[in-house]
Amino acid sequence: MREIIENAVNLTRELIAVPSESSEPTATTGPCEAGIVEVLKRLCAMNDITWQLQEVLPERFNFIASFPKPGAPRIVFLAHMDTVSAQGMRNPFLAEVRDNKIWGRGACDDKGPLAALFSTLIGLHGRGIPLGYDVTLVGSVDEECGMAGSDRLARDNPNGWDLCVALEPSRLQPISTHIGVYRCRILPQRGSGAESLMAIKEELGRLKAAINRQSHPALGKAVMTITLIAADKNRKTGMETDRILVDIRLLPDHQPAKIHAYIQQVVGDRGRVIPLFAAFGLDSDPHDQFIQAFQASIRARNFPDKLIGVPFPSDCSRLKNRGTCLVWGPGDYKAAHKPHEFIEIEQLAGACRVLSHFLARGPGRRILK
């Protein structure tokens, strides 16, 4: 187990040192995930692991590694390879180790989780320890912007899986519920101005009132904001027309497409509705047998196994219709996207222990200590 953990620490540092920013401004050159893909390809070649690339966007590929066990339940582990911009960070790609933490852009979101998973799978594979499941590892692209990687994964897997675990920083506590998001921009038709947008905003107030009354026991209230932004006459921001920005924190039973259609109906021929981002909420069945099996492995390694809800979406927004989904991983999501992003080495070690227990678990199976 010690070697697996050491490899996870080293791989986390190696991945941080390879910029993979998908949001502007960026220091990443070329397709943003390409450098990460090369690292994973090299490791698969060194350890005789089958891999393939899945084109998602021009020159941007999901990385897929297979650990087959025909006839066994299918488990998909997904971690995204892109990060947000490192602007404003000091030495974002140095991967410094300090205070038992690894510092740098992507440390907890999502390179540490990816490294813990990959190092565990390589460790079990190298020791000849059979897995209890048919396992697929996916390094996805574009999670931080449009989730195109998980969209492609869902399209190419119509038969789905028994469990998909999206690796995100959760302090090793399983997340079964999260919000969805809908965002759009409304521009007035030519010749109309602020008066038209003010009327639209007032009419959308009915939708806002209805949404803001709804709540979820684990997520709290849905929230809709409608912001009217005046044109910048001095063109300091480049906005030459008035506009409305709509941002909605959705609950799991909300349908982004229906909300978009309603907004289009309200706007009518008075303007244009430009969708910016949409993601479903998640509310997985807590009684699902594979979620409970994963919880048992978390509990066996002495971490909290209670299912929780969080106020952010994940790749599961695009994947939940293909099978049961869970969000889980090492690190604290409150450190993600921050100028001082980090992941605790203790969290990486805990992730390796939980994953080893879950992956190798089975009747008569030997479990790594």
pLDDT tens digits, one per residue of 117-131? 999 999 999 999 999
Joined together, the tokens standing for residue 194 give 């602020």
- Helix 34-46 × helix 2-16 angle, to 10°: 150
> CA-based Rg of the chain, rounded to a whole angstrom?
22
Residue whose structure tokens are 């229906």: 258
**Among residues 314, 292, 312, 310, which one has the least CA distance to residue 358?**
292
Side-chain-side CA neighbours of residue 177 (13 Å): 16
**Among residues 176, 175, 164, 170, which one has the least CA distance to residue 133?**
164
CATH homologous superfamily for 2-178+282-360?
Answer: Zn peptidases (3.40.630.10)
Q: What is the pLDDT, as a whole number, of residue 237? A: 45
What's the rounded Cα separation, in Å, for the pair 286 and 354? 19
**Among residues 74, 255, 275, 63, which one has the least CA distance to residue 149?**
63
- Helix 345-360 × helix 2-16 angle, to 10°: 120
Length of the chain: 369
**Among residues 125, 49, 117, which one has the least CA distance to residue 81?**
117
**Among residues 136, 130, 153, 118, which one has the least CA distance to residue 75?**
136
The conformation of residue 106, written as its DSSP 8-state character, comes to: T
The domain locations on the chain are: 2-178+282-360, 180-279
**Is the link from the previous residue into 25 a cis peptide, with omega within 30 of 0?**
yes
| pTM score | 0.92
**Among residues 327, 369, 331, which one has the least CA distance to residue 351?**
331
- Strand 74-80 and strand 134-140: the pairing is parallel
Q: What is the pLDDT, as a whole number, of residue 24? A: 78
The CA-CA-CA angle for residues 29, 33, 35, to 5°, reads 70
pLDDT tens digits, one per residue of 167-221? 999 999 999 999 999 999 999 887 666 788 889 999 999 999 999 999 999 999 9
In three-state secondary structure terms, 117 is helix
- CATH architecture for residues 180-279: 2-Layer Sandwich (3.30)
Pick out the chain residues at pLDDT < 50.
Answer: 234, 236-239, 362-369
Q: What is the pLDDT, as a whole number, of residue 328? A: 98
In the chain, where does DSSP find H-type helix? 2-16, 34-46, 112-126, 148-155, 194-212, 256-267, 289-300, 316-319, 345-360
Q: What is the pLDDT, as a whole number, of residue 192? A: 66
Q: What is the pLDDT, as a whole number, of residue 367? A: 44
